[in-house]
Amino acid sequence: MSLPKPGKETTVVITGASSGIGVELARGLAGRGFPLMLVARRRERLDELADQVREEHNVEVEVLPLDLADTQSRAQLADRLRSDPIGGLCNSAGFGTSGRFYELAPERESEQVTLNALALMELTRAALPGMVERGAGAVLNIASIAGFQPIPYMAVYSASKAFVLTFSEAVHEELHGTGVSVTALCPGPVPTEWAEIASAERFSIPIAQVSPHDVAEAAIAGMLAGKRSVVPGVVPKFVSTSGRYIPRSLLLPGIRIGNKLRGGPGR
């Protein structure tokens, strides 16, 4: 067992629920009957999404507007994860940056590590003891195919996603036999506002794109099945395999040169 059957005591908590994959996870899980707790900074977007899924799927939805880059906000959510009967946790909050690392704003890079890695780790830690005690539960951590190899000009982003991937796979194995799973979702380019925020449109290869809906459906299937990792899409699967096995002496110069050809920095 991993993600338990939907019921009053199987709420799924979704961070980053105001946009992109987080929105589609909310819709997909509500469509399967799961009550939801939606977490993000933007209250207006959360309220709009909550109204939609309540009307369409007749499920209970709680809205919790929090900035998970803030220590006190993370502690508030962690308290809820420890005290409430949570069936699932989707750690979807995160963002990326692009450019030469030494030219990027250090405060923004630190915030990226906090949100992409530290917050995810803390919330996973808060949710797991209760799930293990109940003998069922699923955590979904949003990694990326960027986590399979270093990405020049997205150094901190790819490093943070490598943490998410290896952390999730390790904890998943530790949970063997408990009825609880941790799944690393590793999407490729997804047409959301993420690329605009990261100024990383040049990294979005159209042939590799998978829609947010399809990514979310693959993720939910992975949670239900208790999978260790999920890579949606044929091209992203190929890229993730290449990132593991192509020698870095070839891979990294290739990424650098490709970035320059698409109008980015590089020599």
User: Which residues are designated catalytic?
Assistant: 157
Closest Cα partner for 164 from 141, 187, 181?
141
β pairing state of 86-91 and 61-65: unpaired
User: What token pair was written down for 245?
Assistant: 């096995």
Beta-carbon contacts of residue 177 (< 8 Å; ≥ 6 apart):
none
* Residue 214, CA atoms < 13 Å, CB-side half-sphere: 14
* Residue 119, CA atoms < 13 Å, CB-side half-sphere: 30
